Structure 1
């Protein structure tokens, strides 16, 4: 059911004996109808909670930032709950810049066990690898639009608090595995992102269920269902919000963007006219074999960045492989990652211009 008026937008998404899902205005609202316990990274009513009535995933737009700057995030959330006529003491939620129309909801079942993942995702502006240089954002200081992966997991079984934490570990690893599979770059280093800087999570269990489970790890069936739903919904949500997908990554430049290399980088070093360069450039970057070659080069760089190989151990192979594959003659003295990247840029241009 969809209701649109001058004052609000309302859409029913899913109804079950344990919970209902609906979208009202810019918020996805989960109404919990039975005894429950949960862990959530909410500012208001965050942490471990029991018998909450509502869980939100709320879109924050540019026009909301002025309101947010005048309050703490806790107070901002409380005001948002009040505007939706929800009980402040029985409501918790997550915040994102992603649109709720781009939410992905995936459910997996095994016998009587059911797990549902509800995910919004945008990692194009805020992807980061744990350990990258810090970048701290607050509503009451300098806040700007962010990409965020918000995950809500609903389990129809009865979990103890420790098992909820176990489920969060499995969920987080599943999310990170998608970013690694897509080779989604960190915006703060040359590494693959493990998440965004503002990710949120909530795991909910049904305390009225007679199915009491103690393990949500990756060896358990519950852990498997959590990982499957999380991976499927993360893939879909990333695509719906940012068009990120396996196909999106299938060109040479997409693989190089985490090193701040793009079309402008190459054309600025070209020696032929741009109108002659462009068709040859696109033919080169979309060739699957060229994508395989650049993937090999980047993997060697990653081996060095992760302290698995020395730079002196990868540079001879990079030059030999590049010259043999691209059928060019080009030697250089490579001592740093920047040297390697410049070598790759110049080698690509030599091939395009040959």
Structure 2
């Protein structure tokens, strides 16, 4: 199982080391897509972070800390890891552990982004969902879709704007999501919005991400 004990916090990153490889579907910066991975890294970088090749720089970062590249999922954000929120949720025989960091300085309305030239800015919502359950490939993808729906719902409720278009944002331009399953325990063929798995993700991520957004907005207000 994945529990809070699997999370190790360091100054500039948090890592989850799974006891066995997890079935994973993600949009992570390092090793995106579908696969089986053991290490999951959420990393803080500075607001002035603009290397020539961010992917290569990330590989160097992981190498220097002895993370095996072929076994590691990694994301990055300008949000300090002290503002990472990690919560556990249970529903019957299935449990999930969620980690979120939320930076909103780069909020974008995807339906309006074609109207203006994009300029890179810092701001990312990173979401990790670890599932103690057995998911079909279909359910794994549906779980990721549920996570994106929750994110967009929260941004809409909070009135977060795309500063270019002035419309409600749908996310940031660099958001990353990772869903990882232990493939043990209760089986879930589906994980859509009205399934047991989908509603567990909906409830849990809504609570955890709102905490992360609260901390981001409070921090920005205190530094104005």
* TM-score after normalising by structure 2: 0.89
Higher helix proportion: 1
- How far residue 62 of structure 1 moved from its aligned partner, in angstroms, is 4.2
Partner of 2:46: 61
Matched residue SS, 1:218: coil
- How far residue 165 of structure 1 moved from its aligned partner, in angstroms, is 0.8
The question of whether the paired residues in 1 share the 8 Å contact of 2:19 and 2:38 is answered with yes
Matched residue SS, 1:179: helix
**Aligned-partner Cα distance in 2 for 1:63–1:126:** 14
Unmatched tracts of structure 1, length 5 or more = 1-12, 138-142, 249-354
1:82 has 2:82 as partner: no
Matched residue SS, 1:154: strand
1:29 has 2:29 as partner: no
Provide the aligned C-alpha RMSD in A.
2.0
- How far residue 63 of structure 1 moved from its aligned partner, in angstroms, is 5.9
1:214 has 2:200 as partner: no
- How far residue 21 of structure 1 moved from its aligned partner, in angstroms, is 0.6
Matched residue SS, 2:79: coil
1:170 has 2:160 as partner: no
- How far residue 25 of structure 1 moved from its aligned partner, in angstroms, is 2.6
Matched residue SS, 1:44: coil
Say which of 92, 95, 120 aligns to 1:114.
95
Matched residue SS, 2:151: helix
**Aligned-partner Cα distance in 2 for 1:40–1:116:** 16
Partner of 1:49: 35
Say which of 112, 116, 127 aligns to 1:151.
127
The question of whether the paired residues in 1 share the 8 Å contact of 2:101 and 2:126 is answered with yes
Write the deviation string for residues 146-203 of structure 1: whole angstroms up to 9, x where unpaired. 1111100011001122211100111110111111111111122121111111101000
**Aligned-partner Cα distance in 2 for 1:214–1:188:** 41
The question of whether the paired residues in 1 share the 8 Å contact of 2:94 and 2:185 is answered with no
Write the deviation string for residues 38-93 of structure 1: whole angstroms up to 9, x where unpaired. 0121233211011x12011111114643xx22xx3321221111122211111121
Say which of 81, 91, 109 aligns to 2:72.
91
Write the deviation string for residues 295-331 of structure 1: whole angstroms up to 9, x where unpaired. xxxxxxxxxxxxxxxxxxxxxxxxxxxxxxxxxxxxx
Say which of 102, 106, 116 aligns to 1:126.
106
**Aligned-partner Cα distance in 2 for 1:189–1:168:** 27
**Aligned-partner Cα distance in 1 for 2:96–2:76:** 22
Q: 1:30 to 1:183 in 2, by over 3 A?
A: same
**Structure with max Cα Rg:** 1
Q: Which has the higher contact order (CA 8 A, sep 6+)?
A: 2
Unmatched tracts of structure 2, length 5 or more = none
**Aligned-partner Cα distance in 2 for 1:64–1:33:** 33
Say which of 217, 220, 223 aligns to 1:242.
217
**Aligned-partner Cα distance in 2 for 1:24–1:64:** 19
After TM superposition, where is structure 1 displaced by more than 4 Å over at least 4 residues in a row?
Answer: 134-137
**Aligned-partner Cα distance in 2 for 1:217–1:227:** 10
Q: What number of residue pairs does the alignment pair up? A: 217
